[in-house]
Amino acid sequence: MGLKSTTDGLDRGPLERRPSVWSALHLDPILLLLLAILITGGLFVLYSGADQSLDMVKAQGIRMGIALVVMLVFAQLDPSVFRRWSPWLYLVGVLALIAVLVVGIGAKGAQRWLALPGLPRFQPSEIMKLVVPMTAAWYLSRHYLPPRLPQVAAGLAIVLLPMGLIIEQPDLGTSLLVGLAGMFVVFFAGMSWKLIATIIGMASVSAPVLWFFVMRDYQKQRVLTLLDPQSDPLGAGWNIIQSKTAIGSGGLEGKGWLMGTQSHLEFLPESHTDFIVAVLAEEFGFIGMALLLTVYFLIILRCLYIAATAQDSFSRLVAGALTLTFFIYVFVNIGMVSGLLPVVGVPLPLVSYGGTSSVTLMAAFGVLMSIHTHRRMISA
């Protein structure tokens, strides 16, 4: 540990470009521009998806503003701060998750919120989306990479503990996202392909176990519905049928902004939250979807570049994991809305109405910007 930080501190290379406003603010202009395009476009789609409610667009705008501030704050912190704090945050996070199970507040049969006296109501699982990959990265980067089996095991344990606690709430979607964020760290750290293959093999074997002993009825129902939406066209299958209809009827050019009949006539459920991409697809067509996917791809590409050019293992692992988590959001959400994946509560990142996930995501981008702008001047 000592050695590494010494090295980091000493190496100040001559290759750094001239200091700019952006580096003074610790912001990456390219990433910021892409995010701005996404958020702005998202607000237009939201206006349509939320039944042309300016109030909702305003509320979302304010949330995005807050999220931007959070990103700005995170960007100012040195990556080493995250590294040093992550184990402690992890500890607090795990305790909070346990507390949620004991005294949490819930809705629709799941306990996800924690209301501690003196603190605003919050969702500990949301914070863990950042803390778990950071803690895994903190642990693994203290060792030689690629990690050996014991370290892999310990790293996975760090990931699986909070994951299990979140499943208990139950919140399958978040637990998968948290879990994946941690797994990505282990993967990027260099976990051997053999081990990956073994784990995937074991996972597929244990799938029936999950099905029969872990998954709740409503989760099974979602999977069954995905396989055959027509089996329950007015119940659980309704969402999938309606969202596919919305997407498909959009065609190449779409029906035009605010002209989507599926969403405006209220056939499309959750048209401003999880299913908002169907609104976009219906109104802007295949062209709109191609543009959206391009923006997402460019964001991911930029973030992977940031990760690849990061200077220490911790930063690399965290940046890579957060990027792929973001990608998972995109893939799961669009996959679910277009009927490729079961319906799990994953919003379309930075477009869906709702504050919590946007703030977490922007905090993650803050971390990425921090990693990118706090590089010591060494040759890459």
Residues that bind another protein (CB under 8 A): 2-4, 7, 143-146, 184, 187-188, 190, 241-242, 244-252, 261-262, 265-267, 281, 285-286, 289-290, 293, 296-297, 300-301, 304, 307-308, 312-313, 316-317, 320, 324, 327, 330-331, 334-335, 338, 340
CB of 248 to another protein, least distance (A): 3
Nearer to another protein by Cβ, of 145 and 199: the residue is 145
CB of 92 to another protein, least distance (A): 26
Do 177 and 329 touch, CB atoms closer than 8 A? yes
Q: How far apart are CA 187 and CA 283, in angstroms?
A: 39
29-49 helix and 54-76 helix, angle to the nearest 10 degrees: 160
> Could you tell me where the DSSP H helices lie in 26-53?
29-49
Distance of CA 208 to the CA centre of its chain: 27
Q: How far apart are CA 220 and CA 238, in angstroms?
A: 16
CB of 70 to another protein, least distance (A): 25
Q: How far apart are CA 273 and CA 151, in angstroms?
A: 39
Nearer to another protein by Cβ, of 13 and 164: the residue is 13
Q: How far apart are CA 374 and CA 310, in angstroms?
A: 9
CB of 113 to another protein, least distance (A): 24
Go through 54-75 and write b for each residue having 16 or more CB atoms within 10 A of its CB, e for each that does not. eebbeebeebbeebbebbbebb
Q: In terms of DSSP bridges, do strands 110-113 and 105-107 run parallel, antiparallel, or are they unpaired?
A: antiparallel
Joined together, the tokens standing for residue 242 give 């309606």
Nearer to another protein by Cβ, of 61 and 190: the residue is 190
CB of 208 to another protein, least distance (A): 26
Nearer to another protein by Cβ, of 227 and 265: the residue is 265
CB of 170 to another protein, least distance (A): 24
Nearer to another protein by Cβ, of 177 and 289: the residue is 289
- Kindly report the number of other CB atoms within 10 A of residue 181's CB atom: 27
